Structure 1
Amino acid sequence: MKVDLGDLNAFVAVARAGGFREGARASGSSASFLSEAVRRLEAALGVRLFNRTTRSVVPTEAGKGLLERLGPALTEVESALDVVNGFRDRPAGSLRLNVPVSAARLVLPAIVPPFLEAYPDIRLEVITEESFVDVLAAGCDAGIRYDERLEQDMIAIPIGPRIQRFATAASPVYLDRHGRPQHPSELLGHACLLGRFASGALTTPWEFERDGEVVRVEPSGPLIVRVGGATDLTVDAAISGTGIICVFEDWLRPHFDSGALEPILEPWWQRFSGPFLYYPGRRLVPAPLRAFIDFVKASAKQA
């Protein structure tokens, strides 16, 4: 059976993007080109790979099976071809990172602009996702996560701040009206703004620690948002006086500085280790990723 590698790449682009137009935007080609490539592939294989309607393009069972095996295989092919990149004066190519929204907001802004200035031939794509994913299966080269969510076969290097804290805060107007909690247990009598992970679990209990004492509380309140993309809505609600928020300290720092939010229970804020850049240890490291790793390590030494 003779199958064109370009047609396989087209299939993967459409499957990952969820449509021909979306795949075209992601791959830099046209929707008609991808559609024709998929038709050729289906004809060569003798099976339908997508169920197409006017509103959606969804892989069939055969398509899902092919994508599951093909995605990592094509990544390995790209990695093998990337060996040639090592003979260039400057690394070139694409680098895809899978990161949580918090990393895209709090970690990458200090790294990405100088990295792209140092490596103008590298095209960086950042995909935000809160759940832990297989970076190869997702078509990514590396990801950023916290150590408790790293798998054993991953190589991990520190990226960004090494110590972070969760901060609790509310607007001065809210605190003037409802009082300022002096102990975490008092949060049970307040309106608290909560998050929900993609898994469906709430971001509770809220955990606090002081002088070796750990306190966990299960607050409730009028607003629940999806962790990551909707966190700014929670921040805006807190600023407006809706209730008390608990999120990364660095996320709230600008609002502390402006006075829009007031820190509460700061002696109880729990510290935790910062995030890691992780990538599979069982494959060759593509030149763009190697450049990014070296840049992150050099930046950490200079900090």
Structure 2
Amino acid sequence: MSDTILKLNNITKKYNNVNVLKDISMTIKKGQIYGLIGLNGAGKSTLLKIITGLSIPDSGSIELFGEAEKSKIEAQRRRIGTIIEKPALYENKSVYENMNINRLQKGIPGESAIDKTLSMVSLIELKNNKVKNLSLGSKQRVAIAMALLGEPELLILDEPINGLDPIKVIEIRDLLKKLSREYGITILISSHILGELYQLASYYGILHKGKLVQQLTLKELKDRCKKYVHIKVDSAANAAVVLSKKLNTEEYNILPDNIINLYDYIDETGKVTETLVKEGIRVEEIMPRGEELESYFASVIGREEDV
């Protein structure tokens, strides 16, 4: 049995003859937390609406839980829980009442599912509180709980941590990790801030002006943002011997043109230079490099702008 939960093939969408999405192809595997990153207006919400059936693509196809026929896809959408744009909450009703309204709308029999779901998101003690008296973080938990009613296998969340303070962001991250780890729920989550999804997602897609300009794993993201010392010498082979024997490190990569990326001694470039020169190595360039998450995101978008 395939472990592919969702597959998009060349999805395109236009509004007023303007391409909002352009040939989007992506695959989400079972158990992944897929982070969809893009500036406001990049097309994230439109893409999520197409996946959930709230909007129809102009071209392209969708496969959901292995089904590609339109009639069967609609049935498979019952296995999805969603929060797209601002969640609809009744502020003057209690958490429990909001959950019950949502349960009835989804046609889920019995109220036992409500307490079970509230327990999953650690809200059981607040179930009789009115929504208007909750913190923004707790309101987001209510919205996530509503999305979880019916025990979905795929959870789609549109900017669920937007506007939360750093502590609440961490709490929502921990909650989503728990849902993935303990309940096996696959998650597709969007944000306009890469740093908000760092250490949460296992796979990333960068969406810019309707195009999916890059997809990469968490390891690839870490590698590309990892700080290192860029060293250009007259002999990379000889310099590598010095790094190993004199500085006791194997944390380096040898690149073409006698360039070495050293992932150690980041703040001790003087010591590295002194050691290399003392051993007869001519150092032509040495400097710390590496990008912060947001700088990397900006550089990817910038390269796309230059195309």
Normalised by the shorter chain, which TM-score bucket? under 0.3
Max radius of gyration: which structure?
2
